[in-house]
Structure 1
């Protein structure tokens, strides 16, 4: 979706959302884009600055969590820390180690590490029980 700044021939300015430029052009050509103030279908695009997402805006979103969300994130952080302290880190060998434990090829123990999407799908297909540990804001800072 893209937001266009528009204006009519009477000078009214307004904004509208479209799937893309081609969608805007098609609707404007059919007279479907009209000024909400006067109803004029003689509408054009105004000069706009692109909206660029920055790291700062993501920080603001993370800091805008409600008290309940902050409490839940703190609980998840504690749970993840407890899981890590009671398990062996196996790095990128997680899928292999989890599969060995599942099939009884090695001693059962708690492990954690990383796995690719393909490895995760394979573990699910093999019926291996595991749970992703979420990366929460500030976990990697």
Structure 2
């Protein structure tokens, strides 16, 4: 396993683990990596320092006081990558919760379902799912009301 510090096109920085360097490159090229904060698929590695342990018998030295004071969670609050920290990330998390609570997830059948509802071949209901860019473009050209969401499916996260 290898841990990379990643940065999206919107300057969000986060860490993610990958099976290997090749695995990261394959996922990045197929746009299957996404920002942990905003969901953007435009993610690349940033400069990072390697973490090398001299010996298994040695303990990792604690952070110096000046670094410990500014470390995540140093203010006594718990720190979690799964909890949004910025107002924008919190708003997106609220939107995700509302969308998931009030609509049906149809997965990769989104284009088929949306088109069927638009044509009257299926009952109208709120849905969300995934569509390739060409599918979304075709739906828009056909006048099917769709809207891209600012987050990706939870199962496709890093």
Query: So what's the TM-score if we normalise by structure 1?
Result: 0.50
| Residue aligned with 2:137, SS | helix
Deviation at 1:57, TM superposition (A): 4.4
- In the other structure, the counterpart of 1:58 is 7
Query: Larger % of helix: which?
Result: 1
One of 77, 84, 97 as aligned partner of 2:93: 77
Q: Which has the larger radius of gyration?
A: 1
* Structure with greater contact order relative to length (CA < 8 Å, sep ≥ 6): 2
Instruction: Provide the secondary structure at the position in 2 that maps to 1:129.
Output: coil
Alignment: residue pair count: 83
Corresponding residue of 1:7: none
Unaligned runs of 5+ in 2: 15-36, 38-84
Write the distance in 2 (CA, Å) between the matches of 1:134 and 1:83.
Answer: 11
Aligned counterpart for 1:88 among listed residues 84, 93, 104? 104
Q: Name which of 132, 135, 138 aligns with 2:151.
A: 135
1:71-129, Cα deviation, whole Å (9 max, x unpaired): 02211221122111111111111001001111111111011111011101110111011
CA-CA distance at 1:70 after TM superposition:
1.4
For residues 57 and 140 of structure 1, the distance between their equivalents in structure 2, rounded to whole angstroms, comes to: 13
Secondary structure of the 2:120 match is coil
